[in-house]
Amino acid sequence: MTITSGQPTTGQADDIASGGVASGEVGLAWLAGAARDRAAAGLHREPHVRRVGADAINLGSNDYLGLSTHPDVVAGARAAAAQWGGGSTASRLVVGTTQAHVDLETELADFLGFPAALVFSSGYLANVGAVTALAGRGAGSRASGPDDSGDLIVSDTGSHASLIDGCRLSRARVVVVDRGDHEGVRAALAERTEERALVVTDSVYSIDGEPAPVADLYAAARAHGAVLLVDEAHAVGVRGPGGRGLVAEQGLSGAPDLVVTTVLSKSFGSQGGVVLGPEILRSHLIDCARPFIFDTGLNPAAVGAARAALRVLRSDPALPDRLRGNARRLARACGAEEPAAAVISIIVGDPQRAVDAAAACRDRGVLVGCFRPPSVPPGTSRLRITVRADLDAATLDHVAEVVDAALREVGAR
Residue 149 C-beta: closest distance to ligand PMP, Å = 29
Q: Phi and psi (nearest 5°) for 381?
A: -60, 145
Residue 335 C-beta: closest distance to ligand PMP, Å = 25
Name which of 29 and 176 has its Cβ closer to ligand PMP.
176
Residue nearest to ligand PMP (CB): 123
Euclidean distance between CA atoms 409 and 23, whole angstroms:
48
Name which of 141 and 380 has its Cβ closer to ligand PMP.
380
Q: Where are the alpha helices (DSSP H) in 176-288?
A: 182-190, 214-223, 246-249, 279-288
Instruction: Give the 3-state secondary structure of residue 296.
Output: strand
Euclidean distance between CA atoms 203 and 230, whole angstroms:
6
Q: Cβ distance 111 to 244 under 8 Å?
A: yes
Euclidean distance between CA atoms 391 and 402, whole angstroms:
15
Which residues are at the interface with ligand PMP (CB under 6 A)?
Answer: 122-124, 127, 160, 162, 202, 206, 231, 233-234, 263, 265, 273
3-state secondary structure 319-357: HHHHHHHHHHHHHHHHCCCCCCCCEEEEEEECHHHHHHH
User: Any bridge partners for residue 57, and if so which?
Assistant: 366
Q: Cβ distance 273 to 262 under 8 Å?
A: yes
Residue 106 C-beta: closest distance to ligand PMP, Å = 20
Specify whether the backbone of 148 is left (phi greater than 0), alpha (psi in -120 to 50) or beta: left
Strand order in the sheet with 343-349: 57-59, 366-371, 381-386, 343-349
Residue 255 C-beta: closest distance to ligand PMP, Å = 20
Name which of 194 and 231 has its Cβ closer to ligand PMP.
231
User: Any bridge partners for residue 273, and if so which?
Assistant: 120, 263
Residue 216 C-beta: closest distance to ligand PMP, Å = 19
Q: Cβ distance 161 to 146 under 8 Å?
A: no
Residue 101 C-beta: closest distance to ligand PMP, Å = 16
Alpha carbon of residue 195 to chain centroid:
29
Name which of 145 and 243 has its Cβ closer to ligand PMP.
243
Name which of 177 and 306 has its Cβ closer to ligand PMP.
306
Residue 204 C-beta: closest distance to ligand PMP, Å = 8
Residue 25 C-beta: closest distance to ligand PMP, Å = 38
Name which of 40 and 161 has its Cβ closer to ligand PMP.
161
